[in-house]
Amino acid sequence: MAAWLARYTADPVDEPGDRLIGPAVDGKTVRGSRTDIGAVHLLAAALHASRP
């Protein structure tokens, strides 16, 4: 995840113009996955300017 963020985002000071590039991130815990050792967590991230 860190490598993806590093490749597609930049320090706002280094970005030209007034436009910022940042990711949208969503996460959730899978229902019914909880056990004594933890649960399954899902994470999704996308850039606002990306298209399918």
DSSP letters along 23-41, please?
EEEEEEEPTT--BTTB--E
Q: Quick check: pTM over 0.85?
A: no
Evaluate if residue 12 carries a pLDDT over 70: no
Residue 23 · residue 4 · CB < 8 Å: no
Domain ranges in the chain are 1-12+23-52
Q: Tell me: the pLDDT tens digits for 17-40?
A: 666 667 788 999 999 999 999 999
Joined together, the tokens standing for residue 48 give 């606002």
